[in-house]
Structure 1
Amino acid sequence: MMQGLLWLLVLFMAVLAVGIGIAAWYVRGRYFSASRVHDLLEGFFGSPPSSMPVVTREYSPMDLPTLHRALEALYGQDRDGSRTIGFKADAFSSPRLKDLAAANSWCTTGPVEYEQINVGEKDCLNCVSNGILLGDGNEGKAALMVSKGKIYEEKVFLDVAASTLAAASRVAERVHAAMSGANVYRHKVLSLQMSRMGCGVGGVTLHDLPVITRDQLILPAATLDAIDTNVVQFLKKLELLRQMNRPIKRGLLFHGKPGTGKTLVARHLANACVGVTVFFLTADNLGTLTATCTMARMLEPAIVVIEDVDLIAKHREDNRYAPMLHALMNEMDGVSSAAAVIFILTTNRPDVLEEALAARPGRVDQAIEFPLPDDTCRRRLFELYGTGLDLAIQDWDAIIRRSQGASPAFIQEVMRKAALEVAIASDAGSPSRTVTDAEVLTAMRAMLVGNDRLTRQILGFEEPPRPTS
């Protein structure tokens, strides 16, 4: 019995020794195979970093590429001995520079973490998302740590350590000031996106919009002139208007039936207005309204397009989005008259808009109607959307009469259906591109006859008045 217990004790001691050896091997590999961040900082500064003041600034994740560009401009890799080091961090924590600089910190150096971000250029920008830049600039030596919050903490932190609090503050201020000139989103077309947690901004979507020329805008001359005067020419004459002490904040309301070209014109302006930053707000990212307007003021001249504004700007007594309506009115009021920001609101239902938004001077300066196309415009629309086809129309008058009340979107769908009918009937060996009166009238008949009233409503078709007996 005693002998058995003795053997068990020996076995236990052997297992314990092996466990201690494995633990020692792990600790040595984890903490002693690489340099401690504390030791590296001490070697850089020439004094213990644990007593140095640290200044912290918080940024949104969308600011990471701009912060990266600002640090490159101020310090630049390998400039005056500047270099970036990495550190090992747990997956569920966001270490601060003051923690890594503490004398009892065992955090070791590791690879620098980068995040590839699309900034609308040929290649994505590799931005440091977790790393420490060691630089020697105008304020002396400084350690600048960039780190991203983990999982629930959607923030970017910039920690600056220097010999004195004043020096660290000046470095942080210089970086922040450099971000204004280095903003990667200036003169781009973009939308801010909600964060994964549903609060705040989580990222930026850049839009590579197709070029839409003025010739593709089939609208009455008066409408086109109003758009050109209030947006394109207005932006070209900003400096002169400033010299005249004229307000350069504008609010425009584009209204008309669905499919009449409001969104198309907004996209045309995004390309036509050179040197302007354009923001698009739609139903899925209206929660970023305040952040979008703040960014627009920072990147002026800017255009903020809010599509289907009636979703949030209905009469207050029947509006569950009243807080968002108030936010919109506050933003339009809060933009200084000296800020070159143009708000373009689009709606299919101007009659339901809150009067405090649509009828108050200073918020909406001009309403521009997008009417249904007249006979001449409808003929041009059929020809425009027939591009790529061989149009063999014999009786244009009949088609123009039949299409009375049609919107541009409706005519576009008619021509798509006509082309599809030709494609289905064509021989695979020798496909035809010829569209005749028959295909166009058949396509129109399919959309106008029957109970498909919803399609006509969606595409903006207005039923012509029936003659009274």
Structure 2
Amino acid sequence: MLAQTSPRSVDSLAPAPSSRSEPLHKRSTAEFRRLLGAATSDDVLVRLASNFLGVETPMRHYQLHGKLRTALAWHTLPDFLAMQGLVVAGAVGSTGSGRHASEELGVAEFESLRLGRDLWLEIPKNLLIFVESEEGSSAQRAVLRFEMDLMREGRVAVGAFHLDPHPRLLEDWFDYTRRANPLRGRKLFANGTLIEGRPEVERGRLFLPEVVRQRLDFALRRFVSPATARLAALGVRQRAGLILAGPPGTGKSTLGKELVETLATSLLWITPGDLSEANDVREAYEIARWLAPTVVFLEDLDLVAESRERGNRGSMLGQLMNELDGGVGDHPVLTIATTNRLEVVEQAVSNRPGRFDQILEIGPPDSVSRRGMLVHRLRNADLAEDLLDWSCGLLEGATGAEIEEVANSALAAAVFEEGAGESRPHITRSHLEEALERVSRHIADRKVGFDRPAARQR
């Protein structure tokens, strides 16, 4: 029978028809209903498609797409068909589990893909849509097919049966979806969910060496600025990459959070847990291209691209190099990767312009940055200038995370001593010494970059 389902979420972004007619998966012409009634063989779907197209065996063209890309393609389908001068002659759902003779016609099923608290996209799980030109010529017909890939969670096969007038129908549809992507400019995790509920990161709170800030800003201006289009017209490569290298706690991930807050472009945040095989790398970068211009923020590069000299024979490394090389074309995708262990990263990745053009070393903050961090974190407390200078000296070699913990501990000690109240806490040398001692003990398993203060005279 004909599909009768409708999108399940009231907040869904499932496509609204361009006209007042039924949604795509409910449309049916009288001619199609007659054809549907005649398709009674065992291989009913193949027979139906063949009769609709007027050929014995329809051409099959399948591509595996992740749920997010499939949902976006479904969202743009009504406008794409209108642009191509195509209308829906009919739609059916299959109750079978694959392309087998036992498939039957039934109700199309949809899966809701939740992107955020109030944002959903719908994905057809088993839908065939029969389209034809507005003139109804049999030479201008095609069948579009959505099918969940039961062998791999998160994959959807999107296919097309068509004749020569539409040899690129599937590719043109996906190209249109890239251009009309409703999520362009959003910030997403690799699984397709939106980065929401994030605390605001003030640019002034991230204390980077000035040279690092300047080089990062230059890379971003080249990637997204009024000059970007002119640079592309002059033949400047659009894709780019840079590595943020340094010990833990120096602000690499915080920089990523700052980019989430401040960039006007799309951003895709990827962790090693999102990548288990080469297809995951390919899928992530395909999403980045669909969202382009996109910043790919790739955490812990050393876990994905460990050197082959250390025994890495995984296919993910090769796929990552292919994506960074622009194996599928030059697209405006900037990869910013972080690593705590630059020395173990494959040299063909880290030491190869065109893949990663720059390596920005982010070490422990200098004296100016240390002072800025303490002033910023203790801005709501009273601290004497001489104690501020004294603390900055003792914190030489400490990471930003360690400095923040010293400030937090000193604040807590002052508040606990003074008790409840509305006045500004007054931080003393004793509070700072206790904080330094506490943090030193906490991180004693690694070589601490600063000396513990001498024991106080009691």
**Distance of 1:117 and 1:433 partners within structure 2:** 48
The 1:351/1:171 distance shift into structure 2, 3 A limit, reads closer
Question: Are 1:228 and 2:217 matched, yes or no?
Answer: yes
1:341 counterpart residue number? 333
Question: Is the alpha carbon distance of 1:463 and 1:61 closer, same or farther for their aligned partners in structure 2, counting shifts above 3 Å?
Answer: same
Does structure 1 retain, via aligned residues, the 8 Å contact 2:246–2:361?
Answer: yes
Taking structure 1 as reference, are residues 314 and 134 closer, same or farther at Cα in structure 2, changes over 3 Å only? closer
Q: Is the 8 A contact 2:364 2:398 kept in 1?
A: yes
Name 2:242's counterpart in structure 1. Answer: 252
Residue type at the aligned position of 1:124: W
Distance 1:95 1:41, change over 3 A: farther
Distance 1:336 1:174 in 2: 16
Deviation at 1:145, TM superposition (A): 4.7
**What is the CA–CA distance in structure 1 between the aligned matches of 2:407 and 2:360, rounded to whole Å?**
28
Amino acid corresponding to residue 114 of structure 2 in structure 1: N
Query: What is residue 26 of structure 1 aligned with on the other side?
Result: none
The CA distance in 2 between the partners of 1:222 and 1:56, in whole Å, is: 51
Counterpart in the other structure of 1:15: none
SS at match of 2:185: coil
Q: Is 1:65 matched with 2:71?
A: yes
Residues 21-170 of structure 1 aligned to structure 2 (within 5 Å) = 43-44=31-32, 46-47=34-35, 48=38, 50=48, 51-53=51-53, 54=58, 55-58=60-63, 59-74=65-80, 87=93, 89=95, 93-94=96-97, 105=104, 107-108=105-106, 110=107, 112-119=108-115, 122-131=118-127, 133=129, 137-138=133-134, 140=136, 144-150=144-150, 154-158=154-158, 165-166=163-164
Query: Does structure 2 conserve the Cα–Cα contact (< 8 Å) formed by 1:139 and 1:171?
Result: no
Q: Residue 270 of structure 2 aligns with which residue?
A: 281
Secondary structure of the 1:183 match is: coil
Q: Counterpart of 1:453 in 2: which secondary structure?
A: coil
CA contact (8 A) 1:56 1:159 kept: yes
Change (3 A) 1:352 1:130: closer
Shift of 1:268: 2.1
> Secondary structure at 2:229's aligned position in 1?
helix
CA distance in 2, matches of 1:127, 1:260: 41
Specify the code of the residue in structure 2 equivalent to 1:186.
Answer: R
Report what 1:176 is aligned to.
174
Task: Provide the secondary structure at the position in 1 that maps to 2:97.
Answer: coil
Residues 69, 440 of structure 1: alpha-carbon distance in 2 compared, 3 angstrom cutoff: same
What CA deviation, in whole Å up to 9, does each residue of 1:338-360 have, x standing for no partner?
A: 43222222222333333332223
For residues 160 and 314 of structure 1, the distance between their equivalents in structure 2, rounded to whole angstroms, comes to 40
1:371 aligns to what SS in structure 2? coil
Structure 1 residues 212-361: aligned runs within 5 Å? 212-236=201-225, 237-274=227-264, 276-287=265-276, 288-320=280-312, 322-335=314-327, 338-361=330-353
The one-letter code sitting in structure 1 at the alignment partner of 2:195 is H
Q: How many residues align?
A: 398
Deviations 1:387-416 (A, max 9, x none): 5x4344452122112222221111122223
Contact 1:373/1:408 (<8 A) preserved? yes
Query: CA, structure 1 residues 446+154, in 2 after alignment: closer, same or farther (shift >3 Å)?
Result: closer
Percent identity at matched positions? 24
| Aligned 8 A contact 2:295 2:333 in 1 | yes
Q: Give 3-state SS (helix, strand or coil) of 2:250's partner.
A: coil
Hey, what's the Cα distance between the residues in 2 that align with 1:413 and 1:296? 36
Q: Is residue 310–residue 352 contact of structure 1 (8 Å, CA) maintained in 2?
A: yes
Give 5+ residue unaligned stretches, structure 2: 5-24, 40-47, 454-458
The answer to whether the 8 A contact 1:94-1:149 is kept is no
Higher helix share: 1
In structure 1, C-alpha distance between the alignment counterparts of 2:158 and 2:328, rounded to whole Å = 30
**278-287 or 113-122, which moves further after superposition?**
113-122
**How far did residue 69 of structure 1 move?**
1.0
Q: Are 2:193 and 1:205 equivalent residues in the alignment? A: yes
Counterparts of 1:131 and 1:337 in 2: how far apart (Å)? 31
CA RMSD of aligned residues (A): 3.9
Tell me if the contact between 2:187 and 2:267 (Cα under 8 Å) persists in the aligned partners: yes
Question: Contact 2:66/2:283 (CA < 8 Å) preserved in 1?
Answer: no
Q: CA deviation at 1:173?
A: 5.0
Amino acid in the other structure paired with 1:215: G
The structure-2 alpha-carbon separation of the partners of 1:127 and 1:431, relative to structure 1 and needing over 3 Å to count, comes to farther
With normalisation by structure 1, the TM-score equals 0.71
Stretches of structure 1 lacking an aligned partner (at least 5 in a row): 1-30, 193-202
